[in-house]
Amino acid sequence: MQKEMQKLPVWEKIGYGLGDTASNLFFQVTIYFLSFFYTDVFGLEAKTAGTMFLVTRIWDAINDPMMGAIADRTKTRWGRYRPFLLWCAIPFGVIGIAMFTTPEMASTGKVVYAYITYTLMMMVYTAINVPYCALMGVISPDPQERTVVSSYRFVLVFIAALIVQYFLQDIVIAIGKGFMSPEQIAMYTPEELDVVAKRSTQGWQIAMCILFGSSILLFIVTFLTTKERVQPIKEERNSFGQDMGDLFKNGPWLIMGAATIFQLVFVVMRGSAIVYYFDNYIKTQNIGFLGKEFGSTQLSVAYMLLGTAFTIAGAILTKWFCSFLDKSKAYSLLFILAGVTTGLVYFVKPEHLMILFGLQIVTSFCMGPVSTLQWAIYTDTADYSEWKNGRRATALIMAASLFALKLGVAIGGASFNWILAGYGYDAKAEITPLAVKGICLNMSIYSAIPAIIAGVLMLLYPLSNKKMLAIEADLSERRKEHSVEKSSEPSSET
């Protein structure tokens, strides 16, 4: 009977996963296009954008754990975590559109506007994603079932990636051309016209209205289709200090949190480099066996789409990898391989597209299970904390995990933009050979380093699949005992 209760219906797994589709219609833009938007569309200097990415994380250091504590202490008829999907969906969409709106201001005003809207967006991202991530920890008590849920989730994440990678640039270019007069269009070659239109402020704003409007609807679908099943053994009110103390004594979480920071540094540095890399290094290429020339935008889209397709394939096979490897070992070995294939990109010449795309296949396939396992491992660390301390703080653990993720995004974005600035990149001037070298290093060697560090860190992770099954069995017994004790207590009613 217990085993049957742990099996979730497919529609609930899909419903849960659509919540991350909603988040990733924004997050994938952050990975692949945010640096380009701020430097080449919004008009910030690369070093200014890099500093902003890092400075705004200071507030997150307080904001993320606070949100976790709030979610853990929330009680409604819908549960602890689900209500935030409903309450924060519209603010998420509205602030997201504002973030990608370029105001007519002097440079100082633009910097202030960028800081405010980016900070607000990260706050509302926290407010909806901390409870969303915590929801996976209470959707089922079975760690293997949660791994399956995570697989559904990340397949749907990569669907969002496909949408962003395939449609965003085309939408922006099409809309951007719509705001140009025939005389302006006649001034450019087709390739130049695409580059100019890709920098259209109106194109970006309208494209974001489409993406964020979709996000609002998808968050509501997740709220309607999911259910919270796991209740903490004890309902007592833990102090925030106790919860934080538990977190910093949770060795498995500390290792996974550190790996997450390096993982996101890798993802953001590599992802941010793609558009710059194809625009400034690969450029237009003639693919002989197709007998046709392809522009840099077409090639970058094909590169990202191919990668996402193989990432989805890897995510689908996560359960297979975990049938003969512990979660942490699968994460570690695949990530180290992804780091090696990323570093090899530095030696690829512009005309060697087949080698470049082949390395993309291997790297992306490896990242499918890595991304899927990341959050399944985090839910295991929440169970480990409850087993060890007798107290459950799922949302706080997920909030701290989300902070690690956002810190990685910030360091990755800052590092990428500072490296661009250090190599002399200026969107308003002609690109120098030194700037192109900086872009190529960002795309390869510099991105590979954090990937390998994360993979090595996870070799130290102590919770094997066998250990987690023993922990879950013990927790299940404790919950049964607590349920019996609670039912045997005399009623307070007279």
CA distance 323 to 370: 15
- Please choose, from the candidates 230, 228, 220, 218, the residue with its C-alpha nearest in 3D space to the C-alpha of residue 78: 228
74: left (phi > 0), else alpha (psi -120 to 50), else beta? beta
First vs last Cα of the chain: how many Å apart? 36
Three-class SS state of 293: strand
Res 398: pLDDT: 75
- Specify the pTM: 0.79
Residue-level pLDDT at 144: 76
Whether the Cβ atoms of residue 81 and residue 131 lie closer than 8 Å to each other: yes
Q: How much is the pLDDT for 201?
A: 94
Sign of CA dihedral 454, 460, 463, 467: positive
* The two structure tokens encoding residue 176: 């951007």
Which residues 6+ apart lie within 8 Å of 439 measured at CB?
A: 273, 276, 277, 280, 281, 420, 423, 425
CATH code of residue 374: 1.20.1250.20
**Token match 């602890």: residue?**
80
Measure the CA angle with vertex 408, ends 371 and 124; round to 5°: 90
Total of domains in the chain: 1
CA dist 140 → 19, 226, 240 (Å): 17, 11, 25
* Distant-in-sequence contacts of 101-109, Cβ < 8 A, 24+ apart: 101/201, 101/205, 101/208, 102/41, 102/42, 102/43, 102/201, 102/204, 102/205, 107/43
For the chain, 494 residues long, give each residue's pLDDT as a single digit of tens: 344 446 889 999 999 999 999 999 999 999 999 999 999 999 999 999 999 999 987 787 778 888 888 988 888 989 999 999 999 999 999 999 999 999 999 999 999 999 999 999 999 999 999 899 889 888 888 877 887 887 788 778 878 988 998 899 889 999 999 888 888 888 888 878 887 888 899 999 999 999 999 999 999 999 999 999 887 655 545 666 777 777 888 899 999 999 999 999 999 999 999 999 999 999 988 876 666 888 888 899 999 999 989 988 998 898 899 888 999 999 999 999 999 999 999 999 999 999 999 999 999 999 999 988 987 898 888 888 888 877 766 677 877 887 888 899 999 999 999 999 999 998 888 899 999 999 999 999 999 999 999 999 999 999 988 888 888 888 888 777 766 565 565 654 43
Domain encompassing residue 324: 12-223+242-462
Distance CA 102, CA 94 (A): 15
Q: What integer pLDDT is reported at residue 326 of this predicted model?
A: 92
Residue 4 pLDDT: 42
Asked if 423 and 281 touch (Cβ cutoff 8 Å), the reply is no
Residue 491 domain-assigned? Answer: no
Contact between residue 40 and residue 411 where contact means Cβ atoms under 8 Å apart: no
Tally of CB atoms within 10 A around 465 = 18
Residue 1 in any domain: the answer is no
Q: Is residue 95 one of the residues assigned to a domain?
A: yes
Look at residue 429 in the predicted model and tell me its pLDDT. Answer: 84
Taking the C-alpha atoms of residue 336 and residue 214, their distance in angstroms, rounded to an integer, is 35
Q: What is the pLDDT of residue 494?
A: 39
DSSP state letter for 489: S
Q: Classify burial at 9, counting beta carbons within 10 Å of its beta carbon; exposed 0-12, middle 13-18, buried 19 or more.
A: exposed
Backbone angles phi, psi at 8, to 5 degrees: -95, 145
7 lies in some domain: no
Q: Is residue 468 part of a domain?
A: no
Residue 340, in any domain of the structure: yes
Position 249 scores a pLDDT of 86
Residue 473 lies in a domain: no
- Residue 33 neighbours by CB distance under 10 Å: 24
Per-residue pLDDT, 5: 46
φ, ψ dihedrals at 84, nearest 5°:
-65, -25
Q: Is 106 left (phi over 0), alpha (psi -120 to 50) or beta?
A: beta
**SS3 of residue 286 by DSSP:** strand
Residue 488: inside a domain = no
3-state SS string for 392-423:
CCHHHHHHHHHHHHHHHHHHHHHHHHHHHHHC
Residue 110 · residue 52 · CB < 8 Å: no
